[in-house]
Each structure stands twice: as C-alpha cells, then as structure tokens.
Amino acid sequence: MQKRRVISLILTILLCIGMLPAMSMTAFAEETEPIPIYMDPSYTFAERAADLVARMSTSQKSSQVYSQNTPAITASQLGGGALNVPATAGVPSYTWWQEALHGYLNAQNANSYPQNTSIGNTWNPDLYYSVATEIANEIRERAPKSATVSTDGMQNATNLNFYSPTVNMHRDPRWGRNEESYSEDVYLMSKMGTAFVQGMQGMDQDGNLLDPAGRRKLNPTLKHYVANNSERNRLDGGADTSLRALREYYAAPYRNIIRDADVSSIMTAYSTLNGDPCTWSSYLIDTLLRQVYGFSGHMTGDCDSVSTISRHNFINPYTGKVLTIVEQFSQALAHGMDLQCNGGHGSGANTYASNMASMIAQAVETDKGRFTENQLDISLHRLMTARMQTGEWDSDNIFTTEAAARVAEQTGSVGWQTPERLKLIDDVNAEAVVMLKNAVPDGSSEKILPLAVPASGDYKVVIVGAWQTNMYTGLYSGGQSNNTNRINIQERIVSNINEINPDATFTYLTGYGNSTSSASYTISEEDQATIAAADAVIVVTGTDGNYSKEDGDRTSIVFSNGQASLISNVGKLNPRTIAVMETCGPMQVTQFEDDVAAILWSSFLGNRKVGFGDVITGKVNPSGKTTDTWYQNVSDTGASDVPSIYDYDLMSYGDKQGRTYMYFTGTPSYPFGYGLSYTAFEYSGLTIKKGDSAAGEFDANDTVTVSFDVTNTGSVKGKEVTQLYAAQPDAPAELKRPIKRLVGFEKIELEPGETKTVTLEVKIPDLAFYDEATDRYVVDTGAYEFQVGGSSADVPLTGSINVSGSLNIVPAVLTAKPSQTDDDAIGVEERLIFDKGKIVEPKLTVAMNDESLWGYIIKQQSSHVVKKTSTPFPEGMSFTYSSNRPSVVSVTDGVIRTENPGVATITATAEYNGVSVSTDFVVYVTASNYIDTITVDGTPIPGFQKNVMNYSIEVPRGTTTIPEIVPVNTNEDVDVAYTPLTSIPGVATIVSTNRITGAVLTYRVGVGWKPVTTDFKEGEEAALDKGWVFTNKNANAVFGEDGLTITTERGTLTSTEYPSQNVFLQPAFGDWAAQTHVQYDVTPTASNQQAGLIVYDDNNNYIRFVYERAPSTNTNRFRVYSASGGSETQVNSFSSGSQTSVYLQIVKEGGLYTFGYSLDGDSWTTFGSTVTANYAYPQIGVYAA
C-alpha cells in the first residue's frame, strides 16, 4: 500500500454566515410456524408480492428497481410484514435485462431461429407460436437456477424477464432495426407479436395460461414504446406526429397485444414523442397504456433512458427550468417507469437507488402529486408480482419440473438443440423465403425455379458472392461456438443438388461482394467464362451488422459493397442466374431485376440457413410474402419514394406519396403481401354475411363474415396466404382514409386440384378511426369494399357493404388508483400500503369501447402529447365493490375500509348499457407506527408529516427557556416513549413501537439557533464561546495567526476503526448562507485528500462539500456528497486543476441546500444539483481528511 502523503492546510480564515429570512419552525420532512403471506399460495401473486414489498426497507426497495444483478436480500434482512411473521425465504439477486428476440441470447450456442422480419414473411402465427414456446422451454432449461425455493429438489429458475419482442412499425425501410420486428402493417404486426408473447408466457393461443396455478413461463417485454423509428436522433430527439397516427398506427400494436395476450412488460424508447420523453410521459405510460389499453404489467425504460432524459434538455413543467437529475428520476418513477435499465448510454451513472434519498426528501412535484415512497412501493409491487407469476417462490413450480424432465432426455454438448427444435428452424426457413421473381430464361421453355437438375451427368453450378458462407444471424443473436448443427447457404444448396445429382460440380466464387472497391463486383475474365458456361448461377448477397443496426440507420436501400452491380454483372453473363438476398429488409432491386431470371429474398435465417437451398431445388414450395412495401428508391439524398426518415407522417399530400401500402400512391417494385409460388391459386365464391344470412346492410356494431374459396390449380402442393382488405373508395378526401388496410388473413395448404373455403370475420367496430377532436374512435358510415386475394395489389374478389348507425358505447377497461383518507392533503395519488382504520378511495377510470376515458384520470397532466383531466362518469353508470378478505378490508354500502393488518383484493365492477367490466386492486393493511403529530408549547409543528422523522426549530440565540415538546398519539397499536429536551441547543426524541409488528420509529425534534460568523484568527477560545465544538480533536488541529490549521489524516465519518478527526462544528438552525476559504500548503496529490465544509446531523446523516483528490480520476475536483442512513452518494463533481486556495459556499433554505465554489472569492459558480436533507440538529462546520 502506498503511504499517504500528509499535508497541512490553513482552513477557514473566516467563516462568514449570512442570515436569510427567519422561519421560527422548519419541518423536514409456535405451535405451528405461521407461513409468511408471500410464501402462502392461497394468496394471489399480487397479494404475495405486496407482502414482500412491505417487508423491505426504503433502501432495499430502491435497490430492486434496477435491471442488472439486483442485490440479494436474505430472509433475516426482511421485516415481518403486516402480520409480523418472520420471513422464511430471501429475495435472490435478479437480472431483468435478458434478450430472446429470436433465441436465448444470454446463453452460448442457443438455438438461433430466423430473425423477426423473416418470421413476418411466413404470415404464420401458429408456426411462430411454436417457435416462441420452444424458445421459452430452452430458457427454462438453461436459465440460472438460483431461486431461494426449489421444486422436487431443483432450484427454481431466475432471470426470467426478456426484452423481446420488438413491435415498432416498419414505417421507413432505412430504420436500423426493422429486422427486429415484423411488418409495416398494424394487423400483421399485432398477430405475430401476440403469438410470440403467448408462447413465451406459457399461454394457449386464446390467451389462457396453461399452468393450472396461473403461473407464467416467462415475462416478455414489448419494445420500444412508442414511434421509435430512427436511430439517428433517438437519444436527443424523436418523433413528431399526429394523435391519429399515434393511436391508429404507432401505438396500436401495443394495444392489440395487451388485449390479446396480457403482456407482462413494456419498454419505453429513448426518444421523445411530440416533445415528451417516452420514458417520462405520464400520458403515454399511465393514461394511454394503463387507463385506455388496460395494461397491468410493469414498465421498463430502454437501457439508461431514465438517465438520458437529460439529453433532451426537458423543462420541468413545475419549475420552468431544465429537469435536475433528482427531478427527472422522481417524475419518471412517479409517472410509471417501474424499472430502470442500466448499462446502456449512461453507463449506470445515476440510478433510482443512488437518488432515492433525495427523491423522497425533495418530494418533487409530479403529474401524480408529490413524489413519496408510495410511488416506489407501487412500481416495486409490479416488479415483484412479475417475479411471483413465474413461480420463483413456489415449491410446486410445474415449469421447473417439466424443464428438468426435458434436460434428462437431452444428450451431447448442445443437447438443447433437439431434433424437434432444429426441424422447427427448418420449417420457418421453408416459409420465410419470398420468391420475388421467377422467369423463363432466354433459351429455355420453363421458369428457372425450381432448378431442373438432372439425376445424373454433367451439371455445372457456380455460386458467386462472399455471403454464401456467412453465418450472420441478425441483431440480438447469441454467441455461437459449436458448429454441430449449423448450416450456411452454400452448404444447403450443394447438399440438395447433390442429393438429386451426385455428378454435379460446383465452383465457389467467394471473392466478390465483400468490399467497397470496384474489384468487389468486377468479374475477372476467367470467372466470366466459368459463369457463362454454367448450367445455373446463384449470386448470394447479404447485409451485415454494420450496414443496418442499433444506433445506425441506413442512408438508402442500395446494397453495400457493390453487390447490386455484382448481381447485374453476373446476370448479364448467364441468363440462368438466380439472385439470393439475405438482408435486413427490402432492398433496391431496380439495378438488377431485369438481368436475372429469379430473385429470392428473406431476412436472416438463423443458424440453419436452409430456406434458399430448399426453395431453389424444389424441396420446398415458397410461400413467404412481403411484409412491407418494396419501394423502388429510398435515399437520404436525391430522389426518394418516401420523405426524410425524420418525417413521421404517413399520409400522402403535396409532393409526398405517403408511406406503407395504406397510403403510398407511387409504384413499388413489389407490393405488400406479395410472393410467388411454384403453383397457382384461384379465388372464387365470395360471400358476405351477417350471421348466417347474406347481407349488404350492416350496423356499426355488427360483425361481417367473409367467405371465399381457394383452389390449387397447379401441379404441386403449396401454401397460400389468403388476405382480406377493407377499403372505403367513396370516403371524402378530407378524411384521409387509407387506400386499403389488412383486416384478416389465413395461411392454408392445398394439394393440386384441392379447394378450401376460407372464412374470416371482421368486427365493424375494429374498422373505426380515431377522431382527434373528440379523443375517441368513430365508425364511418357509408360504403365499405372488402377485397380478397394473394397480395395487396392482387385482389380478384371484391364485395361491398353499407354501414349505418354508431357504436353502442359500453365499458371496456376499468382501472383504479386507490388511496386512503387524507392522501390528497399530502399529495399522494395512489398507494399500495394502507393504514388500518382508513377509508379507501378507489379513484376509478373507465375506458369505453371507443377508447374515450371517464372518471378519475390523474392529479395533473403536463404532457405535451395530451393533457387529460378527470371527467364525470356518464349518467347511468354504476359501480360495485367486493373484498376477498372482509376481515382485512371491508365493503359496506359501497364504502371500502381497512379493518385489520393483512392483505385483501378489492374487485371493482362498472356497469353501463348492459355491459360490465371489472378490475382488481390490492390493499395491504399495516398497523402503522405513526403518531398523529408533535406539539411545541401546545402548537403543532407546521408541516408535520407522519412519515418524516426529523424536525428542527430555530429560537433566538441565547434562549434558555426550554420549549415543551409533546407527542400526540391516538394510534392504539403503538406505545410511545418520550425523552424530553433538556438544553438548548439539543434534541428531544419520541420512540414509537408497534405492538403488533415490533417495528420502531424514532422522531427527533431539535431546537437551536442560527450559526454566527467566526474569524478563526481570533483563536480557539473565541470560537468555542460562539458555540463551536470539536469532534475527535487531536494535535493535528492548531489555531494560529492564520486561523485554524488542520493536518490531514486518515478517517471517515462512518468508520469506527478510523473515525474522522478534528471536525469543527457549530449549531446551524434556520436559514443561512455559509462561506469559507480553504488554503492548502501544497496542491493535494494523495488519493482522497480533501477539505471543506460539512453540514452534520450525525455520522450517518451529513453533507460534505470539499475540494479533494479524486481517487478514480487522479484529478482534483470540487465535490458534494450526501449521506442518508449511512449510505453516501456523490451529488456534484467538477474538475478544477491544481488549486491551493479555494472558496466554498453552502446556502440553506428550509431543507434545501445549494452549493457554490470560487477560486478568487469574488466570482462564484453554483452547482446545478441540490440536496434536500431533514436534519433535527443541523450543524455547519469545517472538515479535512
């Protein structure tokens, strides 16, 4: 260990105290062992989670709302809960940030399924449901087994939350992450996303949990909410769009998946929407997701998106200034950002845990009232409910048992790559490949595909392009080091052709398409001859993770590395050329489409790239369909079919042609829903019915049944995606209705000559459009045309109906924000933990089927997106309540009252127009430790809050009359012990002990006076006469003609082995400003050397403002540290070179402390971050270590 250098400093030549306006009183704010509620399966998961939360201290709670490696809490560290039953199992460490976009990313050599855009190409939710089910099964087999509870001797799994799937719309093909999601279409996006969520959560395809105990297999997360379609400005900008586009397009998949799959979690984006940071917006998170859509799971920010709110320079609507760190964290958590993901762009520099003491102390104003620990309780309750739902604390967890049984059957180094799962990857490959072109080459009479490979004899195949052996599997893929079951594109083509003709020969030209130089697409004479002489040429191209990626949008849809020129050049040499494209999304094909006989495309195909080879050789009949419009040209510069990537408008107007097949008025290369087959399908027999009868007139509340026949008129078996579109060709232009929109589809398989009848139902309310003026959905009356066919541009069957009337408005979603009597007075909107003997106010909100909102919305809404206010319920709406444990929470004549400690679930039901909807909320009842108030000479302390423990009272200097400080208590569950004030300055203590739980609270009331200016050059005795006192004085503190000189030595305030020495303090009640001048004999060079000012209550609660040698950076810095309950955090830091003379200032106003520094004593810099601290006996002093 390096020996620490000792230096001397002349400290505080003069301590100047400036007086601020006085405030006379300032408030800062055994026979059978009982089973803990959280371990008792007779309680609901939400009730058990509430008990777990209630057992935690504030610091324990704040440590759990963090994405990585949350600290474990042992059973002995948990409290007794409402019933004072000791904990029997702890809370293991947990990592919420797991990924499973197309396989278990967090485990090596996991099965890697095709990327999500490839999945979208299948148009097969049933197949995708199977994929999601097997991803979840593999995770259950391989996830960490570190729970504190076991099933059949095997520890339950942990880390079962996954940041997948991505459901951001393919608004613009340049977006760097399009490959992660499914489509430009809301309906298709929703169906595929729902299939994934249902499979991952352990549901059937009707949304019912398969486990009889109601557990979830995993907790998936929809991301990135909302309108996050540009990587370029996601950290410091975002989307500006209409409310109609938000509701009908960008947010619609979230709504649909919430309703169909009750998704566990949603992640917000880094970006803003109409000025609101998505991670902050109470409208987006609370009002729209929860109250309108009925989302009941937990929210997480994208990684460090809470920290990076500061990058948007967002103005606090309640102060008019840029949000401080404490304010942005307080408002984000209060507005519903339950979990903070760290480790992204802020590197975890700020967390809920590091800021929680200040968040609670400052009681920041938010849209949901003042920030209190109640918001932390609510968020943590959602998180712990999610963990409970996976069976982490259950000893009969069916998923643990099933996973163990599967593992026992697996063999080999990658046993989880079972034959069934490998076949599933191949099955997706088979349906993911889209045949964009299949023509008859010059000199031939048949279409080039499938290849007519002879059974024997000479057959020459040339495969061109570096991508043919590339094993890139797309964004968010797990590591692969075992090649046992991996197959690249080249290998599958070769093996399939060799199966047909063992005599076939192959030439691999892998030196092309791999660089930006012209050599990448300029073909040598030798290779030209080889290509020209081939019986078949296959050019394999692709895009890698540098072309399109997270944090990196494309600038155009042109191939990189000259691959488009390569395809064209090869095609011109041999008419029997097939272009194979494995890319992030749609590409510009105009450069080569006329030069080749066939074009096959898919996004990335996983670790078994068999799809192209199987289609090329006819082993598979292609059935993939495009999920996006393939524009002819999209570019940041020059001509482009669509506008700037920053333009979030969808509709066409002026020179803009619109976006997506719904609004694009130009001519695409390939339309939405397009894909060729080796057979042909004929559509016929369209019927439109209401119920069982053909009909043309429908009411706005009806369901339309559309039926039609599909016949395979070709010679081979094939699969067809039958598609149903709705259009309104007669709609007034000013309504800006889409050209058409997908309202149904079904994938069918037909033998040659076989006919099947397809029946699809469309609910007319689902055809409603959002009306911005009334903030609700409205069904257009008039003519609707239903179009049926094999793509959006190929609809041979059409039929029309007329719609009249309007929606019958009925309740669809009911939500509650319960609070207790008097909460409004203290700024609390909602709570989880209630006091005994209180009336519960449910604060209900009803969303109707038109998505209009009624009832209580939010205390105040400052969102730039929408500012909603509470609206009286419509006349005729009624409410009823019931309790599952009336002895804990009773319901009498509609009044909900907490009766005894414990937990109960209240079911609220709203009924209107003959339809009812219900919601449950948990009420956790405690026998509180709180007293009613504290009086001083008979007058209650102003601003007294039961949950604020420390109060300070300023009296004039020299006061000797000791005030009478008396606790007032009517809480029958507590005993109160009182230690009176005996001198001034001093502290009176009031100890409240709960008879039921044994919990103890200590209130402290300090009485003292303002600090006074002191010139230490007057000597020690003069300072002592003014009320100064040393803590741990030794010979290293000396008064002299220059003032007080302290020689630094090892020590910290919280250490018992090396306590801080020579801390010099005086009482500092009331409001004041303190300045000091610190001089060093030399610049600090030893790690942690420091000196400055301290505000001190005790060794666990203080503020240090010092100039120090920072240990981590080896630089000298001004720093502010705040300690609460023995936990110290850094609040401010500023580098300031090598100084030997600095000036420091602390200003106290109430419980708010601000900090400034100067190098000359005249020009001052004030830190932006403040500290709020509740000290009973505040002292100001000087400090060196």
Residue 1086 has a pLDDT of: 84
Residue 1127 has a pLDDT of: 81
Greater confidence (674 vs 349) lies with: 674
Greater confidence (1108 vs 721) lies with: 721
Give the pLDDT confidence of 465-488 residue by residue, as tens digits. 999 999 999 999 999 999 999 999
Residue 4 has a pLDDT of: 31
Q: Which alpha helices (DSSP H) does 70-150 contain, by range?
A: 116-122, 125-142
Judged against a pLDDT cut of 50, whether residue 23 lies above it is answered with: no
Residue 183 has a pLDDT of: 98
Return the structure tokens found at 751: 């033998």
At 1087, the pLDDT band (50, 70, 90 cuts) reads confident
Beta strands of 779-914 (E only): which ranges?
782-789, 797-804, 811-816, 819-820, 833-835, 839-841, 844-848, 853-855, 878-883, 889-892, 895-898, 902-912
Distance CA 131, CA 383 (A): 26
The enclosing H or E element of 1103 equals strand 1101-1110
Residue 18 has a pLDDT of: 47
Residue 8 has a pLDDT of: 36
Give the pLDDT confidence of 511-559 residue by residue, as tens digits. 999 999 999 999 999 999 999 999 999 999 999 999 999 999 999 999 9
Give the pLDDT confidence of 982-1021 residue by residue, as tens digits. 999 999 999 999 888 788 999 999 999 999 999 989 999 9
Lowest mean pLDDT among 306-310, 318-322, 778-782, 876-880: 306-310
Structural contact between residues 323 and 314, judged by C-beta atoms closer than 8 angstroms: yes
At 1137, the pLDDT band (50, 70, 90 cuts) reads confident
Local structure of residue 1163 (DSSP, 8 states): S
Judged against a pLDDT cut of 80, whether residue 677 lies above it is answered with: yes
Residue 1133 has a pLDDT of: 86
SS3 per-residue string spanning 907-964 = EEEEEECCEEEEEEEEEEEECCCCCCEEEECCEECCCCCCCCCEEEEECCCCCCCCCC
Q: Degrees (nearest 5) of the Cα angle 301, 305, 311?
A: 155
Distance CA 1099, CA 1106 (A): 17
Residue 943 has a pLDDT of: 86
What is the CATH number assigned to the segment(s) 437-663? 3.40.50.1700
Give the pLDDT confidence of 1163-1182 residue by residue, as tens digits. 999 987 788 899 999 999 99
Residue 1083 has a pLDDT of: 85
Distance CA 841, CA 832 (A): 12
Judged against a pLDDT cut of 60, whether residue 3 lies above it is answered with: no
Q: Where are the domains of the chain?
A: 8-21+1010-1184, 437-663, 681-804, 811-848+873-926, 929-1008
Distance CA 477, CA 101 (A): 8
Residue 19 has a pLDDT of: 40
- The pLDDT of 909-919, averaged and rounded, is 98
Judged against a pLDDT cut of 70, whether residue 834 lies above it is answered with: yes
At 346, the pLDDT band (50, 70, 90 cuts) reads low
Judged against a pLDDT cut of 50, whether residue 388 lies above it is answered with: yes
Give the pLDDT confidence of 941-967 residue by residue, as tens digits. 998 988 889 999 999 999 999 999 999
At 698, the pLDDT band (50, 70, 90 cuts) reads very high
Cα distances from 781 to residues 691, 701, 740, 768, 802, in angstroms, run 20, 11, 16, 10, 7
CA dihedral in degrees (728, 732, 736, 740; nearest 10)?
Answer: 10
Structural contact between residues 945 and 931, judged by C-beta atoms closer than 8 angstroms: no
The CATH class, in words, for 929-1008 is: mainly beta
Distance CA 434, CA 122 (A): 9
Residue 1167 has a pLDDT of: 85
The candidate with the shortest Cα–Cα distance to 207, out of 104, 294, 106, 99, is 294
**Percent of the chain beyond pLDDT 90?**
86
Tokens 């911005």 identify what position? 772
**Percent of the chain beyond pLDDT 70?**
97
Q: Which sign, positive or negative, has the C-alpha torsion 629, 632, 636, 640? A: negative
Local structure of residue 405 (DSSP, 8 states): H
Judged against a pLDDT cut of 70, whether residue 30 lies above it is answered with: no
User: Beta partners for 1074?
Assistant: 17, 1146
Calculate the average pLDDT of the chain.
Answer: 94
- The pLDDT of 633-657, averaged and rounded, is 95
Return the structure tokens found at 183: 């489509």
CATH 2.60.40.1080 fits 811-848+873-926, yes or no: yes
At 1071, the pLDDT band (50, 70, 90 cuts) reads very high
Task: Select the CATH number that applies to the domain covering 8-21+1010-1184 from these four: 2.60.120.200, 3.30.1330.10, 3.60.20.10, 3.90.1300.10.
Answer: 2.60.120.200
- The pLDDT of 205-227, averaged and rounded, is 98
The candidate with the shortest Cα–Cα distance to 688, out of 798, 804, 789, is 798
Judged against a pLDDT cut of 70, whether residue 20 lies above it is answered with: no
Q: Which CATH topology does 681-804 take?
A: Immunoglobulin-like (2.60.40)
Residue 371 has a pLDDT of: 97
Local structure of residue 143 (DSSP, 8 states): S
Q: Which sign, positive or negative, has the C-alpha torsion 847, 853, 854, 858? A: positive
One fold for 811-848+873-926 and 929-1008 = yes
Distance CA 89, CA 149 (A): 7
The candidate with the shortest Cα–Cα distance to 418, out of 790, 110, 32, is 110
Residue 946 has a pLDDT of: 84
Distance CA 672, CA 656 (A): 19
